[in-house]
Amino acid sequence: MFADDLATARRDLADWSQPVIVDYLQELYARLLGPSHQSLRVLGISHGRTWRILILGDLEKLAPARREIVGISRLAGLKTQHVEQIDQAMLAELMDIIVARFHRSPAQASLYGRILLSAASRLAAAGSTVAA
């Protein structure tokens, strides 16, 4: 795969998944904080931005974005472990969406799946940096 093709696939995945990501993140935070918590929108949008950075592979922006979402979640009364659980659930949801949406295009599903696996490894590395 050429670097330009991978960059295009990353942008495509980041673009179509962004609204899904933000909505699902807000749903996950609502389960923890309650559906009318004042921080749901900020948490969903900020955490969604972190996921966009992950998908695009923008490593320079990842650590600051991760620290931001951990800080905001702490202000809302959550622990770092909650953010990690939400990230795991988000990753699983995206994989399920890709499998369902691209079941007739195995090559596209595989490409997006590899992008998410790469994002998951960056997320794990960023998580250990924030926890330190």
Quote the mean pLDDT of the chain.
91
Give the pLDDT band (50/70/90) at residue 1: low
Q: 10-31 burial by CB neighbour count: b if 16+ within 10 A, else e?
A: beebbeebeebbbebbbebbee
Does the pLDDT at position 132 exceed 50?
Answer: no
CA atoms within 13 A on the CB side of 103: 5
| Residue 96 Cα distances to 52, 74, 79, 103, angstroms | 18, 29, 26, 10
Question: Which one-letter amino acid corresponds to residue 77?
Answer: G
What is the structure's pLDDT at 123? 83
What is the structure's pLDDT at 32? 96
C-alpha–C-alpha distance, residues 26 and 28, integer Å = 5
| Residue 77 Cα distances to 34, 73, 95, angstroms | 12, 6, 29
Which tens digit of pLDDT belongs to each residue from 28-46?
A: 999 999 999 999 999 999 9
Which tens digit of pLDDT belongs to each residue from 81-127?
A: 999 999 999 999 999 999 999 989 999 999 999 999 999 888 877 76
